Chain A
Amino acid sequence: MTVKVRFFARFRELLGTDILVEKKSGTTVAALVKEIAEKKKEGYNAIFDEKGNFHEFVIVMRNGKRLEPAETTTVKVTDGDEIAVFPPVAGG
């Protein structure tokens, strides 16, 4: 099955975007994003904390629907899913 991962803003700068991944079923959202992010240390550190969890401010969406931090490690991706990972900004 194919899943698309979209990174926004700084995450996109670090990791690229619209990444198509071929996956066997059973992969969780967190595992999928982690696998892509691991290719670049800076990108990984921007998204995940030292325990390997999403930084608590990171917004993760699956098919336009927000996932709770806990859900990212339980919800499994399915064919055609689009996962979006977005860093809110704080400046003004």
Chain B
Amino acid sequence: MLSERELDRYKRQILLFGEEGQEKLKKAKIFIAGAGGLGSPISIYLAVAGIGTITIVDMDVVERTNLNRQILHYDRDIGKKKTVSAEEKLREINPDITIKAIDTMIDETNVARLVGSSSGIVDAMDNFPTRYLLNETAVKKKIPLFHGAIRGLYGQATTIIPGVTPCLKCIFPKAPPKEVFPVVGVTPGFIGMVQATEVIKYLIRDGRLLTGRLFIWDGLEAHAEEICVERDPKCPVCGGSHTPARRSVKAPVKAPVRKKK
């Protein structure tokens, strides 16, 4: 049940998806991997939208060089653990939800435990090795993975529904090279909003998800594209022995129906 306070707080979006939709958001547990450029706007917007439980994981300390994009952290937070800074802000932003901030490095020994029984995993990482770990966990647990990545003024996003859509490894079999990537805050802001919108749509079961499609944003050109992506039957993560998971996915996922050209 939503409290009077909650009915008031979410009044304008209840107009959009009803109290029933709001209840769905309240019941949801979303796991956000990373409290950096993508994790900041994603966690802020999911918090204000009233996602009942948000777990956010990061291992870093706030540095001055983070502040051009990691809007959860302020100048006064330099030197503080990102999880401490994130928890503080998100609690203030919305005291009606539960925030769990975990200060750790996501690795193969803890990823399954950290993700637990989340309703969705948000990829707000800055590297592919950890993304692949999240992907494997998502596929094993049949939990949706909301992917996003950025560089400079470019970004990409897609929604992965295990068993239905290609997994991250099908789409990106090989990781792009590691680098200190250039970035201006608006790009993770933009891509983070695509991911957060997908999370909300998935939870309230509305709209057409970014499934089977890779969204590509070119901020320099102010141009968005999408390319169709397909499952790789030989994928080492989701291919081969995989059983169609339509039944086990909670949302009435509208699998991408695409006309072949």
Contacts and interface: CB of A to CB of B under 8 A. Distances in A.
A57 B261 contact: no
B155 interface: yes
A63 B228 CA distance: 10
Interface in A41-59: 56-57, 59
Contacts of A20: none
Interface in B138-167: 148-152, 154-156
Contact of B37 (A59, A65, A86, A92): A92
Interface residues of A, number: 21
A57 B154 contact: no
Nearest to B123: A92
Interface residues of B, number: 40
A61 B227 contact: yes
Contact of B181 (A13, A57, A64, A91): A91
A88 B172 contact: yes
B183 A91 contact: yes
Interface in B229-259: 229-230
A84 interface: yes
B174 interface: yes
Given A9-B154, A64-B228, A92 B176 contact: no
Interface of A: 8-10, 12-13, 56-57, 59, 61, 63-66, 84, 86-92
